[in-house]
Structures are given as structure tokens and as C-alpha cells.
Structure 1
Amino acid sequence: MDFYAGLDVSVEATNVCVVEGDGKVVREVKLETDPDAIELFLAEWGNHLKRVGLEAFSYSAWLFTVLSEKGLPVTCIETRHAKAALNVMLNKTDRNDAKGIAQMMRTGWFRAVHVKSEGAQTLRALLVGRKAMLSKVLDMENMILGLLRPFGLKIGGMSVGRFEARVREIMAGKKDLEAIVTPLPDARSAMRLQLAKLHRLALAAARSDTAVRRMMTVPGVGALVALTFRATVDDPARFKRSTNVGAHFGLTPRRYQSGQTDRIGGISKCGDELTRAMLYEAAIAILTRIPKNFKRRLWGLRLARKKGLKRAATAVARALAVVLHKIWTSGTTFRLGAGGKRGRVAAAV
């Protein structure tokens, strides 16, 4: 007889439910969130255990990897599908969630998600850490500006490197204010130093990755955009067609069709928010700052005149995701066509 298991994982404890092929609950237990304890409990069913499901969340990649290495048939399921299935239960408890996931494993009513490799997770951590540090640096600079304005002190436009010196210059002679504000530029300088270190690590990662360097041949795509796309996709073979990548990042419109009703709404915004934002920023750069004309840019400019810049940038971002995936899978680079009027990916686009 075949058996199926569901894991409802939290930081401290994991609820486990095992069901038979006909849906009957065989065993339920609450364990410590430890792969060895979970493996020991599930070992009783051996090869008869066909699928073990857990919902995607922050611990999923670690637990999935360890349990897979132990030989368990683990599947990480899509969060929205799990939520839709579990919402039919009257009472929301961890025990019931584990039971619901086990039943999803039995019926096959789930969508498996890709669990990123350790390398992709490390790269992702670098990019998220860099972005967080940049945000804190900007917050600190804005706070310093806000503290100085009530005293009529204005820094004015200047380079990043001159910021601290300018703050000290305009505060000269105001001893009480200096005592309050001086620690803040010092803290800002320390944060800028750490931000520079993270940025150098990102640039080094881009230089060492052949696929990323090829993606950077696309106008408007820099190291950070290419690295973010690389870390999020992880394995380009996940997508049978490059045209599916835009939908994966939530850049395609929602649609509701029922009977005589057929509505097309805004983009779905599902998938990775950071990658979607980076692709959008690259699209804005293509439409507003890239001097060279090529196929995608000219198409985006025509669309901008009809639909506006935001909608055009969204469409270009979706097309850009397709181009980057094709570059990655085909091993080619982006090049401008004759006269610089049409951009293509080695004749593949």
C-alpha cells in the first residue's frame, strides 16, 4: 500500500501527518523541526512512502535539501495552491494543515515549486543584503538633512564623497548642534564603507559568471539586473519556453473570464518582487536613457506614446525577461543589427 506525508513546518516544531492511498489518516505527530527526527519518524514506511510535501517558506530550501539528501521523496508545493486547498477546512490549525498537505500529496492536486541551489541562495543573500544596506544609507542621509533644515542649514547638491565634509562645514560654530549631529555622519560613513564592500562582491560575482556577462550585453542591463535574474531563475531549464518567464515574474495581465464576462486587468505581480523591480528599472533605462535605437526600444517608445511610459516599461520588462532567458539558454550575446536599428540575440530573437 502506498503512503503519503504532509509536513507543516514552523521554526520550532513540525506537524507530520501520514495517510494511506485511500485518504485514511495513519499517524499524526508533532516533532522538533529537525531533519533527523523527521527522517526517523518516516522511516517506518520506507519505500511505500511515495510523496512527502511541505509548503514553500523561509525554511523550505534548507529542509527540502537535507531531506532529499536523506533519500526522502520530498516535494515543495506552491504557497497559493496550498492556501486555496487548506482554506476549505473549518478550523485553521497546524495539525489540520499537515493533514491537508498529506491529502494534497495523495491526490496530486498541487504545483511543485523549484527549490533554488545553494549558490543561487548565496547570490540572492548578497543582492538582498546590498539593497538593504543601500536603503539604510539613504535613510541616514535623509535623516541628517531633516535635522539640519529647521536651522536653515542646506547641504545642496554634491557628490557622495563630499557629503560628510559638507555637513561638518555648515555646522561649524554651532557646538550644541555639532554634538548631536556629528555621530550620524560617522555612522553613515561606516555604512557606506560596508555598502562598497557588498557592491564589490556583487561585481566580482558578475565578472566570474559567463551567463551574467552575456546578459550584460543587452542595453540597459547592468551587473545587478543580470545577477538578480540569474539568482532568481537559478536553472533556465525550468522554463520550456522563454515566453513563460515574464508570467513567472508577474509581468503578464490578469484575466477573468466567465460566461459573458471577460476582463483583463493589471499585471499579476506574482513571483519575485525584487527581480520584477529590477527588470522594470532596466526597461525605464532602455526607454529614457539608452541613446542607441534597437528593436525593443523602438517598440517600447511607440507603445509609450499610445499607453504611457509605465505600461510601456512593463511591456519592455516582460520582453527583456524573455531576451535574457534566451541569451542564457542559447549561449549567445545581444547585438545590434545593421545600422543599429534592430536589436537581436544572435538572430534567435
Structure 2
Amino acid sequence: MKHYSGLDVSVKETAVGIVDEAGRVCREMKVVSHPEDLIAILQDTRWNFERVGLEAGPLSQWLFEGLAKAGLPVICIETRHTKAFLNAQPNKTDRNDARGIAQMMRVNLYRPVHVKTLTSQKRRALLTARKLLQEKAISIENDIRGLLRNFGLKVGAVGALKFEERISELIGDIADIKEIVGPLLAARAKLRLEFSRLHGKVLDIARNDATCRRLMTVPGVGPIVAVAFKSTIDIPQRFKNSKTVGAVLGLTPRLHESGESKRIGGISCCGDAMMRTLLHEAAQVLLSITKKWSWLKAWAMSVAKRRGRAKAITALARRLAVIMHRMWSNNTPFCWTREELPSASHG
């Protein structure tokens, strides 16, 4: 007899639910959220697992890797789809959620999620840490501006490199204010230093990676976007059609259709928020800053003329994702003119 299991993971404990092919509950328990503890339960000779469901979350990649190496048929499933299914239950408990996930696996009503390779996970962690340091440094700069404004000292427009010099110039010999702002400037300097170190690591990755160098031939795409795109997509072959990349990154419109009503809304904003933001930034650079002309810029400007700049940037961000995936899949550089494009459309 086949069995199916659902794992409802939390930081300390994981609720495990096991059902048979008829839907009868065979066992329910809680174990420590560690691969070895889960393996000890799931590798019991009484169970013949067809599928083991694991909801995507902070610990899912670590647990998935451990269970997969043990030979268990583990599948990481999409969170929003799982939540919609489990919301049908009148009572929400860890035990009920684990049982519900097990039933989802039994009736084949789930949406699998790709679990990234270890290299992509490390690169993503690097990008996340880099962004966090940058945001904290900017936050401290804004706080310093606000503090000084209370005393009529206006910092004005100044770049990151000359920020500390400008603050020192404003404060002058006001000792008590210098004592307050000094520690903030020291913390900002440390954050900027560590940010530069991590930024350099990202640049080294882009410089030494052939795929990233190829993606950087696209106007508007720099090393940060290239490394982020490669770590997000991970394996290009998992997308049969390049056009689906835009939808996976939440850059396609929502559709609500019911009876005679059909409404198209804004973009879905599902998927990777960091990658979506970076693609929007790349689109803005291509549309506003890049001077070299290309068929892609001409297309984006045509959309901006018809639909407005905001919609053109979103459309261009989606198209950048599609083009970058096609370039990666075909090992080809960016084509600047329409005459260079292959016969197949780039989306």
C-alpha cells in the first residue's frame, strides 16, 4: 500500500502527517525540525512513500536537501497554493496543516517549487546581505539628515562619498551635536566598508562567470542584475518557453474571469521580489540613461508613447527577463538590431 506524508515546518518542531492511498490517517506526530529526526520517522519500514510534501519556507531548502539525499521522494510545494487549500479547514492547527498537506500529495493537488542548487543559494545569500547593508547605511544617513534638520542644519543633495565630509562641515565646532552624530557616522562608515567588500565579491562573480558576462551585453543590465538573474533562474532548462519567465517573476497582468466578466488588473507581483525590482531598475536605466540605440529601446519608447512611461518600464522589465533567459539558453549575445535577431521571436 502506498503512503503519503505532509510536513508542516516551524522553527523548532515539524508536524508530520501520514495517510494511506485511501486517505486514512496512519500516524501524526511532532519531531524536531532537523533532517535526521525527520528521516528517522519517514524511513520506517511500515511506510511505502509515494510522495512527501514540504511547504516552501525558510528551512525548506535545508530540509529538502537532507531528505532527498536520504532517498525520500520529497517535493517542495508552493506556499500560496498550499495556504488556499488549507484555508478550507475550519480549524488551523499544525496537525491539521500536516494532514492537509498529506492529502494534497495523495490526490496530486499541489504545485511544485524548484529548489535551487547550493551555488545559487550562496549567491542569493550574498546579494541579500549586500542589499541589507546598503539599506541600513542609507537609513542611518536619512536619520542623520533628520536629526540635523531639527537644528536648522540642512545637508542637501550630496553623494555617499562626500556625505561624512558634508556633515562635518555643517556641524563645525558644535561639540554636543558632534557627540551625538559621531557614533552614527562611525556606524555608517562600517556599514559602507562591509557593503563595499560584499559588492566586490559580486563583481568578481560576474567577472569570472561566462553566463553573467553574456547577460551583461544587454543594455541596462549590470553585474548585480546578471548575478541575481542567474541565481534566481538557477537552471534555465526548467522553463520550456522563455515567455513563462516573466510570469514566474510576477511581471504579467492578473486576470479575473467569471461568467461574462473579464477583468485584467496590474501585474501579479508573485515570485522573487528582489529580482523583479532589479529588472525594473535595469529597464529604467535602458530607457533613461543608455545612449546607444537598439531595437529594444525603440520598442520600449514606442510603448511609453502609447501607454505611458510606468507601463513601458514594467513591459520592458518583463521583456528583459525573457530575452536574458533566451540568451542564456542559446548561448548567444544580445542583438542590437532587428536584422541580427534569430527567426524565433524573443517574446
TM-score, length basis structure 1: 0.95
**Amino acid in the other structure paired with 2:204:** A
Question: Alignment partner of 1:112: what SS?
Answer: coil
Match of 1:325 in 2: 325
How many residues end up aligned between the 2 structures?
345
Q: CA deviation at 1:161?
A: 2.5
Contact 1:295–1:344 under 8 Å retained in 2: no
Partners of 1:137 and 1:188 within 8 A in 2: yes
Distance 1:155 1:10 in 2: 46
1:233 alignment counterpart: 233
Q: Which residue of 1 aligns with 2:334?
A: 334
**CA displacement at 1:317 relative to structure 2:** 0.6
Which residue pairs with 1:289 in the alignment? 289
Deviation at 1:150, TM superposition (A): 2.6
**In structure 2, what is the Cα distance between the partners aligned to 1:343 and 1:238?**
29
- Tell me the CA shift for residue 291 of structure 1: 1.1
Match of 1:28 in 2: 28
**Cα distance between partner residues in 2 of 1:312 and 1:163:** 34
Once the two structures are TM-superposed, the CA of residue 183 in structure 1 deviates from its matched residue by: 1.8
Kindly tell me: are residues 236 and 46 of structure 1, through their superposed partners in 2, closer, same or farther at Cα, counting changes over 3 Å? farther
Matches within 5 A, 1:1-349: 1-45=1-45, 48-337=48-337, 342=338, 349=346
**1:196-232, Cα deviation, whole Å (9 max, x unpaired):** 1011011011112111110000000000111111111
Deviations 1:116-168 (A, max 9, x none): 11111110111111111111111111111222223232334444332222322
Q: Secondary structure in 1 aligned to 2:61?
A: helix
Aligned 8 A contact 1:332 1:346 in 2: no
Q: For the residues of structure 2 that align with 1:73 and 1:218, how far apart are their CA atoms?
A: 40
* Rounded Cα–Cα distance in structure 2 between residues aligned with 1:96 and 1:315: 42
Other structure's SS at 1:255 match = strand
Partner AA of 2:165 in structure 1: A
- Structure 1 residue ranges (4+ consecutive) displaced by more than 6 angstroms after TM superposition: none
Q: Report the residue type matching 2:200 in the other structure.
A: R
Contact in 2 for aligned 1:23/1:103 (Cα 8 Å): yes
CA distance in 2, matches of 1:50, 1:31: 21
Cα separation, partners in 2 of 1:136 and 1:346, compared to 1, 3 Å: farther
| C-alpha distance in 2 between matches for 1:13 and 1:165 | 51
Evaluate the alpha carbon distance shift between residue 343 and residue 134 of structure 1 in structure 2; reply closer, same or farther with a 3 A threshold. farther
Structure 2 residue identity aligned to 1:288: S
Counterparts in 2 of 1:156 and 1:255: CA distance versus 1, 3 Å: closer
C-alpha change, 1:26 and 1:251, in structure 2 (3 Å) is same
**Residue segments in structure 1 that go unaligned for 5+ positions in a row:** none
Contact 1:3 1:45 in 2 (8 A): no
Paired residues of 1:327 and 1:345 also in contact (CA < 8 A): no
Comparing 30-39 and 85-94, the one that deviates more: 30-39
Supply the distance in 2 between the matched residues of 1:175 and 1:141 (Cα, whole angstroms).
20
Letter in 2 for 1:66: G
Distance (whole Å) between structure 2 residues aligned to residue 332 and residue 74 of structure 1: 36
Aligned mates of 2:256, 2:122 — CA distance in 1: 38
Q: Is the 1:333–1:346 Cα contact (8 Å) retained in structure 2? A: no
The amino acid that maps onto 1:167 is I
Return the alpha-carbon distance in structure 1 between the equivalents of residues 289 and 340 of structure 2.
Answer: 19
Q: What is the RMSD of the two structures over their aligned residues, measured on CA atoms?
A: 1.5
Q: Secondary structure at the match of 1:256?
A: strand
Distance of 1:28 and 1:219 partners within structure 2: 55
Contact persistence 1:9–1:15 (CA under 8 A):
yes
